[in-house]
Amino acid sequence: MTSSQPVVCVFFKLPPGYLSVPRIHEIAWTVFVPQLIHLNYAFKVTQISHPSSEAEKLWSAARLSAAKKMNCLEDVAYMNYDIAGKFLTFMEVLHLRRNNSMAYYNKFLSCAHYAVKETITAQEVLLKFRDDIRIVVDKITTLISGNSKDVSLFTSESSQSMLELTTAVEECIAILEGHRKELKNVQRQKLDENDDHPSEAEFQMLQEKWLTFRKSAGAGEYQWHALQREIRGSKDSDEPAMTSMSPAMPIYSSKNHTVPFWQKFFRRIWS
């Protein structure tokens, strides 16, 4: 009894890995959101003893800007979905042996080229997301520390959150870099209309792979708009309002189990 042989891709490239977007989405929810909430709590508590309307404006603007930057992650997912759709259409046309298959293939290549640019843009935007938050935190620290006021607790808490955010951003950028390289690799396949057609087994295997890749990028798989709302925060509250569309409140990724800033603060003023 002979075992079935694995299908070898002779004509086509496999799609990029389908876990890149899910992993980035997970990092955004489990690190970006809780650490910005953490910073928000620290800032609000500091405002009690070190009120500053200018600092309030800076922080509100920073959160709004940070929320808008999450669009770049959604764009990467959208481009993945679009790429997969165009490649699947090309495969169908080729499978039916139509004469215009190369036109569909060129549309796929054009889309993949644009997706590479979007991935690079996402990397740049995430770096700016990190840097903008750090700059605002530094500005707020300067504003509220006037007249030799003690803001050591705020500095300590914000430094820890910035460390978490920096690490998470670096991981996302590394994931995006791997994704960019995979997209470039997909573009390197060269097809000729005069070549023999792929086998039926290769068609079926590639179709399954690309369908899986497309599903992993579908809008219904993620909560991008809810993510932006959490980062932006509620206008009627000092903290973001978790919605029914949002995942459960993530747990901080930090392993530092020190007493939270606001608990330290109230212990100090009550003692």
pLDDT number for residue 223: 94
Could you give the percent of the chain with pLDDT greater than 90? 56
Rounded-to-integer distance, Cα 104 and Cα 15, Å: 17
Q: Residue 233 in contact with residue 240, Cβ under 8 Å?
A: yes
Residue range 223-268, pLDDT digits in tens: 999 999 999 986 544 444 443 334 433 433 444 444 444 444 444 4
Question: 3-state SS string over the chain?
Answer: CCCCCCCCCCCCCCCCCCCHHHHHHHHHHHHHHHHHHHHHHHHHHHHHHCCCHHHHHHHHHHHHHHHHHCHHHHHHHHHHHHHHHHHHHHHHHHHCCCCCHHHHHHHHHHHHHHHHHHHHHHHHHHHHHHHHHHHHHHHHHHHHCHHHCCCHHHHHHHHHHHHHHHHHHHHHHHHHHHHHHHHHHHHCCCCCCCCCCCCHHHHHHHHHHHHHHHHHCCHHHCCHHHHHHHHHCCCCCCCCCCCCCCCCCCCCCCCCCCCCHHHHHHHHHHC
Rounded-to-integer distance, Cα 223 and Cα 219, Å: 8
Q: What integer best gives the mean pLDDT of the chain?
A: 82
Q: At what angle do helices 71-95 and 152-187 cross, to 10 degrees?
A: 10
Q: What is the pTM of this model?
A: 0.81
pLDDT number for residue 248: 38
Residue range 87-126, pLDDT digits in tens: 999 988 888 877 788 899 899 999 999 999 999 999 999 9
Residue range 24-70, pLDDT digits in tens: 999 999 999 999 999 999 999 888 888 889 999 999 999 999 999 99
Instruction: Please choose, from the candidates 84, 89, 110, the residue with its C-alpha nearest in 3D space to the C-alpha of residue 100.
Output: 89
* pLDDT at residue 189 greater than cutoff 80: no
Query: What contacts 26, CB < 8 A, 6 or more positions away?
Result: none
Query: What contacts 141, CB < 8 A, 6 or more positions away?
Result: 151, 154, 155, 158
Question: Exposed, middle or buried, 15 (CB in 10 Å: 0-12/13-18/19+)?
Answer: buried
Q: Residue 248 in contact with residue 226, Cβ under 8 Å?
A: no
